[in-house]
Amino acid sequence: MDSGLITLFLPIALAIVMAGMGLELTLKDFARVTKHPKAVIIALFCQLVLLVGIAFLICKILALPPLLAVGLMLLAASPGGSTANLFSYLYKGDIALNISLTALNALVAALFLPFIVNFAILHFMNEGQHVGLQFSKILQVFLIILVPVAIGMLVRHFAPHLAEKLNRPVRIFAIVFLLIIIAGAIFNERHNLVEYLGQIGFATALFCAISLAVGYFVPRFFGISSYQARACAFEIGIHNSTLAMTIALTIMASTTIAMPAAVYSIFMYIFATIFGILITRFGPPVTEKS
């Protein structure tokens, strides 16, 4: 992928995608968190502690190469993707909870993602490999997540009709953008693709399946309704791989680090669909108070 395209186009395109997320959020979505504190706390614990720990164990047990291990940790630290709302809608989850988690995730990811990635770099990278996430780059991560989301929310607040008109085109753009950067990352690493798939394919598939299972069954274990647990599962299982790949390609300047997120993107929609069908067919009947 051309370096000029990476440094100029990807951050701008990601800003549009994150602004699109903001178009769907209001301050009420943040306030709504207080109505479901238990579900929110459990979901965030699953995402920030359990999944990051599981990703670390997968890296160690499967002995992933350093750059791919950092890439999987970057993916694990990334917030839920906006399409989680769509899967909640399709498979009878609490969409309002999804939106609340998405809103909170954007804030939490901006704060914690750089530290998790820096830990992964320090732990997995050899001394001769220099892929850093220094303070200036941490600031970039913070800005690339929060500023566009805030702009989208301002548009939603002051021009709701414009926000409604922009919502569909931005969603389409987000899908196209995701496909482009997956294609670009794969093309750039085409000579190593078979090797990477062998090294990271099983790891990402395993991580995807575990993410969905943890997102559903851990909340259920703690008494969260199936209605809300489905929302948690999709929020946790559908990571913002677009954000992970853009950070890898621009801020960290590594297509290899982007590969786990690229491969995960292929698995997550397939696995989320299968998971949704399974819990709809075999899970408990769902009402808003189930």
Residues 182-192 have pLDDT tens digits of: 676 667 666 66
User: Does any domain span residue 190?
Assistant: yes
**Would you say residue 225 has pLDDT above 60?**
yes
pLDDT in tens, 92-140: 788 778 777 877 877 787 778 888 888 898 889 865 454 555 555 556 6
Tell me if 289 is assigned to some domain: no
**pTM of the entire structure?**
0.77
Q: Please give the residue range of the domain that contains residue 115.
A: 1-280
| Position 290 confidence tier, pLDDT thresholds 50, 70, 90 | very low
Range list of β-strands (E), the chain: none
Residue 150 inside a domain? The answer is yes
Q: Answer yes or no: is 286 within a domain.
A: no
Residue carrying structure tokens 């998790």: 116
Structural domain includes residue 13? yes
Distance CA 157, CA 265 (A): 32
Q: Which residue has the higher pLDDT, 92 or 14?
A: 92
pLDDT digits (tens, 9 = 90+) for 64-91: 999 999 999 999 988 877 677 778 877 8
CA-CA distance, 82 to 229, in Å (whole number)? 17
Q: What is the pLDDT of residue 9?
A: 65
Number of domains in the chain: 1
List, for residues 23-44, the tens digit of each pLDDT value: 877 777 667 667 778 888 999 8
Residue holding tokens 């999987």? 72
- Tell me the pLDDT of the chain averaged across its residues: 80
Q: Does an H or E element contain 275, and which?
A: helix 255-282
Give me the sign of the Cα torsion angle 209, 80, 91, 182.
Answer: negative
Assigned domain for 194 exists: yes
The answer as to whether 68 is a domain residue is yes
Q: Indicate whether 285 belongs to any domain.
A: no
Report the Cα 198 to chain-centroid distance in Å. Answer: 23
Q: Cβ atoms within 10 A of the Cβ of 147, count?
A: 15
pLDDT score at 12: 73
Q: What's the CATH number where 67 sits?
A: 1.20.1530.20
| Mean pLDDT of the region 190-203 | 77
